[in-house]
Every structure is written in structure tokens, then in C-alpha cells.
Amino acid sequence: MSKPVKNLITEAYRQRFAKVDSAVMIDLRGVSANENNALRHHLQEQSIRVTVLKNSLAKTAFEGTALQPICQVIEGSCALAYGGESVVDVARSLLAQSEEIENLELRGALMEGQVYEAHEMESLSKLPSLDEARAVAVQMVLSPGARLAGSILGPGRRVAALIEAIKKKLEDGEPVQAN
């Protein structure tokens, strides 16, 4: 491959992955064309993209970017899977597909600057996704306020119920006694 072609491919990688900061590295060797197409279609439905890489050019393109740490798992034939809600969703989808597609191999992942090796992919997939983490954070923020509101309103409700009971007794002409 000529140097100008290599430069074009490297620049294309830089542009394509400029905003990507987390991804999963996979190996598609041995995956049949039909399985590959089915995999890509399944991932595309979840807004996950797969790009086969030329290793040396990808390493050059990733230098100085958020994807540079993932270069340590680039070996042999590689493809980069990225997109979706988060890299956790990408890992979950790929792990599910690897059970159906025999030769699909997960090499590693990059999330928030941390590289997960192939043997750590299962634990990565069990982390909460971005939406799940946000929901937990919101719940943690709101629960003390909800408890405080309940504590403040609880005695007021009891007093209001007593006043309502006294009012009803007075309207019915029953005597009201203080204990």
C-alpha cells in the first residue's frame, strides 16, 4: 500500500473516531459472511457501528486521542465496535452475540480511559449502563428529600385528620371531649 493511501486511511480513521472515547475491540476472523451481516444488522438496530481496522494505521490514528489506550489490545485481525448508549451496552450486545456466533471473539474494551482485557468483558457488561447509573443517582438525590417531606407532612396530616374528626362530630351534634 502506498504512503498516500496509508495517509488517507489514517486521516479517515482520525475523522471517524474523533468523538469516540470508548469502544470494544473484536476479532471477526472465522465469522461467516452471513453471520457477519446478521451481527452488523443486530448491532445497527442499537446504533452500534463496527469498523474493521488496519492495525498499524489505527495505532497511528489513535495517537494522542481518547482511543490511544485501546491500542494495547490491537493484535491480529481487529474491528472496533462503538456507539450505542454506552460501551457497557456494546459489550452486552457483543457478549450475547458471541454465544450465538462461535468465532466472534472479544479482545477488550476501553471505557473512560480504562482498558478491560478480554477476560474482564463479562464484568464490564454487568456494570450499569449510562441510563441506569443516572437513574440510581437521581434516586439517591431525591430519596432524602422524599423522606424529609414525609417526616414534615406526617404530623400535619395527623393534626388535620383530628381537626376533621372534631369538625364532623360538631356538625353531627356529638360532644367533643379532650383527653
Which of 126-148 are b and which e, b meaning 16 or more Cβ less than 10 Å from the residue's Cβ? eeebeeeeeeeeeeeeeeeeeee
Residues 12 and 71 occupy one common structural domain: yes
Residues 168 and 112 occupy one common structural domain: no
The total number of structural domains in the chain stands at 2
- What ranges make up the beta strands (E) of 23-122? 23-27, 48-53, 78-83, 105-111, 114-117
Tell me which residue of 48, 133, 132 sits closest to 83, measured CA to CA: 48
Task: Give the model's confidence band at 125: pLDDT under 50 very low, under 70 low, under 90 confident, else very high.
Answer: confident
Residues 36 and 68 occupy one common structural domain: yes
Residues 9 and 97 occupy one common structural domain: yes
Task: Give the model's confidence band at 178: pLDDT under 50 very low, under 70 low, under 90 confident, else very high.
Answer: low
| Amino acid identity for residue 51 in this structure | T
Whole-model pTM over 0.75 = no
Q: Quote the domain boundaries for residue 137.
A: 128-179
Q: How many CB atoms within 10 Å of residue 120?
A: 15
pLDDT of residue 146: 67
Residues 119 and 147 occupy one common structural domain: no
pLDDT per residue as tens digits for the range 74-95: 888 889 999 888 888 888 888 8
Residues 35 and 66 occupy one common structural domain: yes
pLDDT per residue as tens digits for the range 29-64: 888 899 989 899 999 998 999 998 888 898 888 888
Residues 144 and 115 occupy one common structural domain: no
Residues 120 and 44 occupy one common structural domain: yes
Which SS3 state, helix, strand or coil, does residue 110 take?
strand
CATH number at residue 96: 3.30.70.1730
